[in-house]
Structure 1
Amino acid sequence: MAIAMTGKFPRTRRVGQRFSGSTDSFGEQAVFYWTALRWSWRAVTHYKKETLRLIAEISMGSGALAVIGGTVVIVGFLTLASGATIAVQGYSSLGNIGVEALTGFFAAFINVRIASPVIAGIGLAATIGAGSTAQLGAMRISEEIDALEVMGIPSMPYLVTTRVVAGLIAIIPLYSLAVIMSFLASRFATVVIYGQSGGVYDHYFTTFLIPTDILWSFLQAILMAVVIMLIHTYYGYTASGGPAGVGEAVGNAVRASLIAVVVVTLLVSLAIYGGTGNFNLSG
């Protein structure tokens, strides 16, 4: 009867197989992520040199990327451009209703809660994450990971967890730079380019810049870094199919991590600010 039903409804069978495969893949990833996080203490205590090397590589880059400063410069320029764009759009839009003086409020509100975390997450996925996927994928197809296991070195804490820990540590100074660059770019565009009084801008900026929002923004960036590193290390660690398979793994990892950046931003914003946004504008 089952054979007859399978032959009679091939489309249903294919849909069921795809659903089953997706469920298996989700469970496999969940186990991988839990295992990687469970090894965190061992990675910190047993593989200190490797962790420090990865922190330096993540921050300043390696090879040709180190010439321009690695992730530090890339994330800095991305947030610099986003901060300037926020100032340009905010001043123009607010100027249409005669309240361009509130551009400082606009910069303090949008940069911290949305722009800087999202742009920094995209920069991390495109630099740190993609590089980790390519490195681990190349090691997998060249059987270097299997060689580590043969030598008695557990590959998960040595290759995966150290990268997650390094990304978690490196994101703090990287994100500090990102926030500062976005603030400076917004002020420069508003005061120097548009000619608004620096005192007016600083007044509204400092009035509406909530210190706790900055702390929550850092928490959001840290969560993004952990999620991005877990996703990219998974796709790199499980890569197959030769060099073409590594390229495919990098593409899949970047796609998944970009989706994760937006989802983390949404969930954190809902959890922290709720429906009201914890914001009151009155005069």
Structure 2
Amino acid sequence: MAVLRSRFHRPRASLIKRLSPLLKLGDAGNFYLQAFRAVPRALASYPKEMLRLVAELGMGAGALAVIGGTVVIVGFLTLSAGALLAVQGFNSLGDIGVEALTGFFSAFINVRIAAPVTAGIGLAATIGAGTTAQLGAMRISEEIDALETMSVDSVAYLVATRMIAGTFVALPLYALAVIMAFISSRVATTLFYGQSAGVYDHYFATFLRPIDLVWSFLQAIVMAISVMLIHTYYGYSASGGPAGVGEAVGRAVRSSLIAVVMVTLLVSLAIYGTGGNFNLAG
């Protein structure tokens, strides 16, 4: 009888192992649905907690707040990306004799690709990783279980509040990111390469479409929600002690970086299609 049971359970265990990625995906989807359902309750019951989280996520806590936390990190990332875009754009366009169009390069690529992706990476590496570590530490120290024992909705109090706060923080952070990208591209082109400021500003203002900025901010909001959902899920479901929390942070950052690129791709295809809504003519 024991032999029959072992032979019967082997295929079942193998099937469960093969379906494990699908089961994890379903568990994550159920968690995301619970988080969205908990948003109204979080807004109604925990406004003070959301304000505290907005300040913490935006400026950091403790010693990190002294240097600006996420604000400084995202600002420097996009500043570097904008300067790199100016360097590559000026040299590449200069090979065909149209380096005057560097302003167009900045207005077109910074808004649609460079600033969103760079800001998304900054959000994942700062706000997202910190959120996963916080929730993971609370999970392994049984603080989340203690909240549920006291009849506190842990998803609303810990997850939905962080998702809302992360979205609020992402808007001014992304505005800063776009401004830093524009400034660094202009300074690199006019100061280091000696292009006329009037030429740069002319092509920049000509090809900068205000509607592109609106779509870019919408993309940043979707990106922030995706990043916060992924990181809260991995933190909330962490296990295995401190090592398990570290593993959860690594997995969350990896998943959120993939999500940032996928959001950029899908939003760009949905808004601009294959043509890009762009015509360059004399």
Q: What TM-score do the two structures reach when normalised by structure 1?
A: 0.95
Matches within 5 A, 1:190-269: 190-269=189-268
What is the distance in 1 between the residues matched to 2:13 and 2:37?
37
Residue 271 of structure 1 aligns with which residue?
270
Is the partner of 1:98 in helix, strand or coil? coil
Matched, 1:280 2:274: no
- The alignment covers a number of residue pairs equal to 278
Letter in 2 for 1:137: G
What is the distance in 2 between the residues matched to 1:191 and 1:37?
47
- Runs ≥4 in structure 1, deviation > 3 angstroms? 10-14, 16-19
Once the 2 structures are TM-superposed, how far is the Cα of residue 19 of structure 1 from its aligned partner? 3.4
Residue 113 of structure 1 aligns with which residue?
112
Once the 2 structures are TM-superposed, how far is the Cα of residue 13 of structure 1 from its aligned partner? 7.6
Matched, 1:181 2:180: yes
Q: What are the superposed Cα offsets for residues 195-228 of structure 1, whole Å, 9 maximum, x if unpaired?
A: 1000000000000001000000001110000000
Residue 81 of structure 1 aligns with which residue?
80
What is the distance in 2 between the residues matched to 1:271 and 1:11?
44
Relative distance call for 1:191 and 1:11 in structure 2 (3 A) is farther
Once the 2 structures are TM-superposed, how far is the Cα of residue 11 of structure 1 from its aligned partner? 10
What is the distance in 1 between the residues matched to 2:274 and 2:253?
30
Is the partner of 1:281 in helix, strand or coil? coil
Residue 103 of structure 1 aligns with which residue?
102
- CA RMSD in angstroms comes to 1.8
Relative distance call for 1:11 and 1:259 in structure 2 (3 A) is farther
Is the partner of 2:281 in helix, strand or coil? coil
Structure 2 residue runs without a partner (length 5+): none
Letter in 2 for 1:150: T
Q: What TM-score do the two structures reach when normalised by structure 2?
A: 0.95
Residue 59 of structure 1 aligns with which residue?
58
What is the distance in 2 between the residues matched to 1:117 and 1:63?
28
What is the distance in 2 between the residues matched to 1:59 and 1:131?
12
Letter in 2 for 1:236: G
What is the distance in 2 between the residues matched to 1:264 and 1:83?
20
Q: What are the superposed Cα offsets for residues 27-64 of structure 1, whole Å, 9 maximum, x if unpaired?
A: 11001001101111111111011000000001100122
Structure 1 residue runs without a partner (length 5+): none
Once the 2 structures are TM-superposed, how far is the Cα of residue 151 of structure 1 from its aligned partner? 1.3
Is the partner of 1:239 in helix, strand or coil? coil
What is the distance in 2 between the residues matched to 1:244 and 1:51?
29
What is the distance in 2 between the residues matched to 1:12 and 1:199?
71
Once the 2 structures are TM-superposed, how far is the Cα of residue 18 of structure 1 from its aligned partner? 3.8
What is the distance in 2 between the residues matched to 1:277 and 1:245?
44
Letter in 1 for 2:235: G
Once the 2 structures are TM-superposed, how far is the Cα of residue 65 of structure 1 from its aligned partner? 1.4
Once the 2 structures are TM-superposed, how far is the Cα of residue 17 of structure 1 from its aligned partner? 3.6
Matches within 5 A, 1:35-184: 35-184=34-183
Residue 20 of structure 2 aligns with which residue?
21
Identity of matched residues, %: 68
